[in-house]
Amino acid sequence: MPQQDPFEVRKLGTVSRPSPLPLSSEDGDQLFNFVDDSEKILFNTSLGEYSRSRSEGESLPAVEKAGPRRNIFFNPEETTAAIVTCGGLCPGINNVIRSLVMGLHYFYGVKEIIGIPYGYQGLAPDNPHPYRYLTPEKVRDIHQFGGTILGSSRGAQKVSDMVDTLVRLEVDMLFTIGGDGTLKGAEDIGKEIEKRGLKISVIGIPKTIDNDIDLIDKSFGFETSFDVASPIVRDAHNEAAGAFNGIAIVKLMGRDSGFIAASAAMSMPVVNFVLVPELPFQLEGEKGFLKLLEKRLKAKRHAVIVVAEGAGQHLFEEASAVQDASGNIKHRDIGILLKDRIGEHFKQQGTEVTIKYIDPSYIIRSAPANASDSIFCNRLAYQAVHGAMAGKTRFVVGLLHNQLVYLPISSVVNRRKKIDLEGEFWFAALQSTGQPFRMG
């Protein structure tokens, strides 16, 4: 019995309608070519894995290349699209909304585009907020601002109710912009749609500032996050260096993954310690963090510490079991704990220190996208539109090996991506800070 392809993207039905895009299928005519479903990108590009698969007669897992198809599923003139943004804020959300509207309207001629207010709450039957009907004129300048013009929320609504709303609004395709919880919700909506035999496409555009969506190279907003954090770290260093035994602690976002903290530390290489959720550390002991900090102050008389919000949760006496509306565990404030414990440690020694604690998280996540993320948001949105018009559903568009691809939503929500402590990225962070591989 043939094994099911784990990266197969579902389709709503046969695609037989010619695309309105004036593209080509021939090389050498200086026109972009339509992308065929058979065009795949290898999931694992390791030569060793390729050799092993060939020797064992196995096929290599591959994913669909994103892009416009020669034939599409929907009649653009009769198509209604909807856009919803969920979860926490992240640089670039408005860029994605804008590009979705522009792509649907100008590429395919879709005129009815509904903005769902305040996340999945806007799909509830008792939603009190008016829907926003989006046009190119209404979204023309929104990319210049952070946040989301549609509003956002956390929390689960009843799936059947949300599908009822989509049916009532006569929506043909739903674009969901959000992180792990949002994508799981989109998958559940897609399953209910399939169960009812409806022809509604569900598309996910991964949005997480923490860069913790599995399988894909990066998510939008991530580069802006450490770009904005970098000068903050620089100024924190100036504060620390300006005082005798000055210590600056900068807490950055990163609930379960420390990509922002590590990237910020490398982008502004004045950081002496970067603490991430992936690697537990001890405060006390000869090889613990406090002793290492003590040695740093004796040598240089100042220190800069960057810590991810989810780091060091094991140091609290009782683990927090409180969850937010999305079901995420609410972490205790590691920044305050570090500030207090560092202060107590040096006070007991009779050593005077000056500690500055900085938490710019909400400033960073509300910032507008930088130039690199703006380009990335545009590309993600356009490819999401092409996939939706071709009748694909329950998929996300993402970057894999520097190429945009379509992946089933189910394949990226099984676990959260974390820093590989044996990988080159973390090794580079350790080389940048000069800290030991382990603390304690």
Summarize the annotated binding site as residue ranges: 88, 154-155, 179-182, 208-210, 253-255, 309, 362-365
* Residue 218 Cα to chain centre, angstroms: 7
Pairing between β-strand 354-358 and β-strand 302-308 as defined by DSSP bridges: unpaired
- Any catalytic annotation for residue 210? yes
Read off the tokens for 26: 């021939």
Question: What residues are designated binding site for Mg(2+)?
Answer: 180
* Residue 96 Cα to chain centre, angstroms: 13
Question: What residues are designated binding site for substrate?
Answer: 208-210, 253-255, 309, 362-365
Contact 231, 265 (CB under 8 A): no
| Residue bearing tokens 């130039």 | 371
Measure CA of the first residue to CA of the last residue in the chain; give whole Å: 51
Give the single-character DSSP code of 40.
E
Residue 80, SS3? strand
Residue 332, SS3? coil
Cα separation of 393 and 435, whole Å? Answer: 46
Contact 203, 348 (CB under 8 A): no
Cα separation of 212 and 417, whole Å? Answer: 4
Contact 77, 65 (CB under 8 A): no
* Nearest to 190, CA basis, from 413, 345, 408, 352: 408
199: exposed, middle or buried (Cβ count in 10 Å: 0-12, 13-18, 19+): middle
- Which candidate in 141, 164, 172, 210 is catalytic? 210
Give the single-character DSSP code of 133.
E
With b meaning 16 or more CB within 10 Å and e meaning fewer, what string describes 395-409?
bbbbbbeeebbbbbb
Give CA angle at 75 (70, 77), nearest 5°.
Answer: 125
Contact 120, 156 (CB under 8 A): yes
Active site residues: 210
